């Protein structure tokens, strides 16, 4: 008499595999999310650093125009030529590739101010960070804070 050969998996085996995969996902997925958020924060810090693309573009603008963009002009002056004819002749931009270069990794425009409030002789650029709220502890700035030292 021949024994019948079983093929396939039992319900218990399938549920066991699903439970193991769920446990693995519970530990692994949050780590990947943290890595992604850390990468965005590092990207913003790099963009705002004194040798980053925004600082370089502002310095090129300064060399051509003899001043940093002020007030309402803001960072848009790195992409769009000035409206005044005298300034338009000096402008050698665009100093950045496109409008997306003015956005932080979370899709919001970088904040800009000249003259600065912390350093009146310099410009200040900052991102509101992941929470997208200004003045919170996750803001990323172009200036040094007590925490940076």
- Please report which confidence band the pLDDT of residue 64 belongs to, taking 50, 70 and 90 as the band edges: very high
Domain coverage including residue 119: 49-133
Residue 114 inside a domain? The answer is yes
Can you give the CATH number for the domain in which 111 is found?
3.30.700.10
For residue 6, pLDDT beyond 80: no
Residue 123 inside a domain? The answer is yes
Residue 129 inside a domain? The answer is yes
Mean pLDDT over 92-108 rounds to: 88
Residue 80 inside a domain? The answer is yes
Q: What percent of the chain has pLDDT over 90?
A: 19
Residue 29 inside a domain? The answer is no
Residue 3 inside a domain? The answer is no
For residue 60, pLDDT beyond 80: yes
- Please report which confidence band the pLDDT of residue 52 belongs to, taking 50, 70 and 90 as the band edges: confident
Residue 28 inside a domain? The answer is no
Looking at per-residue pLDDT, the higher value among 86 and 111 belongs to 111
Cα–Cα distance measured from residue 27 to residue 139, given in angstroms and rounded to the nearest whole number: 28
Residue 23 inside a domain? The answer is no
E strands in 27-123:
111-113
For residue 19, pLDDT beyond 80: yes
Please give the tally of structural domains in the chain: 1
Looking at per-residue pLDDT, the higher value among 9 and 141 belongs to 141
Mean pLDDT over 90-118 rounds to: 89
Q: By the 8 A CB rule, do 142 and 131 touch?
A: no
| CA nearest to 105, candidates 128, 80, 73, 125 | 128
């Amino acid at each position: 008499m021949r024994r019948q050969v079983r093929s396939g998996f039992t319900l218990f085996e399938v549920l066991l595999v699903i439970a193991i995969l769920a446990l693995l996902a519970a530990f692994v997925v949050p780590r990947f999310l943290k890595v992604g958020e850390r990468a965005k924060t590092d990207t913003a810090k790099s963009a705002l650093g004194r040798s980053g693309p925004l600082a370089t573009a502002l310095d090129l603008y300064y060399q051509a125009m003899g001043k940093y963009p002020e007030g309402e002009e803001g960072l848009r002056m790195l992409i769009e030529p000035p409206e005044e004819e005298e300034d338009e002749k000096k402008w050698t931009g665009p100093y950045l590739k496109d409008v997306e270069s003015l956005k932080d990794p979370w899709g919001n425009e970088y904040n800009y101010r000249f003259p600065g409030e912390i350093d009146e002789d310099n410009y200040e650029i900052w991102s509101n960070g992941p929470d997208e709220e200004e003045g919170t502890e996750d803001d990323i700035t172009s200036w040094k804070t007590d925490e940076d030292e």
